[in-house]
């Protein structure tokens, strides 16, 4: 019996999402430590850093876009469930498919716009208008990576859910 290529691809995406979520966790630790350091330097030595606030802001973007696909994969994203509980299983499945299609549409537009903005920032050498003058293409590229992973996760989950191969697979791990 051959393995389902969609399931195999989803397994690979899950591993990538886990690595990205781990990186996001490490970034959170770094941001927390650096903000603590900045507060310490500001209040005890009256010498705040010039880079911590700006870099923390950029890293917050990395945290969001690297962790979101993993949250989706684990079923920990935001859901409005009051309607789901009132529907029969077939209607719930149809509603889930509709929501996935709408989410994939949003992710596609997000990916397109993020790619366009990142490419423009790269070709025109956009830099932040601050003392650091950080190259913004490296800030924006995470939106392309995260949007791609989010779109792929939505797509593969929708296919597997439609086939009935996903039920309880990820959400059951957290129970």
What is the SS3 assignment for 127?
strand
pLDDT at site 167: 53
pLDDT score at 95: 85
Q: What is residue 2's predicted lDDT score, i.e. its pLDDT?
A: 52
Mean pLDDT confidence for 58-67: 97
Average pLDDT of the residues of the chain: 89
pTM (2 d.p.): 0.86
Q: How many angstroms separate the CA atoms of 157 and 63, rounded?
A: 22
Give the model's pLDDT for residue 173: 45
Closest CA to 149 of 110, 95, 97: 110
pLDDT of residue 38: 93
pLDDT band for position 66 (50/70/90)? very high
pLDDT tens digits, one per residue of 72-82: 999 887 777 77
**pLDDT at residue number 155:** 95
Angle of CA points 75, 76, 80, to nearest 5°: 90
Cα–Cα distance for residue pair 86/98, rounded to 1 Å:
17
Give pLDDT, residue 13.
96
Percent of the chain with pLDDT over 70: 93
Each residue's pLDDT tens digit, 85-141: 888 888 888 888 888 899 999 999 999 999 999 999 999 999 999 989 999 999 999
Instruction: Quote the pLDDT of residue 103.
Output: 93
Could you tell me if 23 and 66 are in contact, meaning their C-beta atoms sit under 8 angstroms apart? yes
């Amino acid at each position: 019996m051959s393995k389902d290529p969609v399931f195999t691809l989803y397994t690979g995406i899950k591993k990538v999402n886990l690595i990205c979520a781990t990186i996001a966790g490490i970034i959170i630790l770094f941001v927390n430590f650096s903000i603590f350091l900045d507060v310490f330097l500001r209040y005890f030595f009256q010498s705040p850093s010039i880079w911590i606030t700006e870099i923390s802001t950029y890293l917050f973007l990395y945290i969001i876009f690297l962790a979101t696909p993993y949250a989706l994969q684990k079923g920990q994203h935001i859901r409005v469930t009051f309607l789901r509980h009132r529907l029969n299983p077939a209607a719930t499945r149809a509603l889930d498919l509709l929501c996935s299609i709408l989410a994939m549409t949003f992710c596609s537009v997000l990916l397109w716009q993020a790619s366009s903005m990142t490419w423009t920032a790269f070709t025109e050498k956009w830099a932040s208008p601050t003392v650091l003058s950080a190259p913004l293409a490296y800030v924006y590229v995470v939106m392309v990576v995260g949007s791609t992973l989010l779109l792929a996760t939505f797509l593969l989950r929708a296919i597997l859910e439609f086939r009935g191969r996903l039920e309880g697979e990820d959400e059951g791990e957290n129970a």
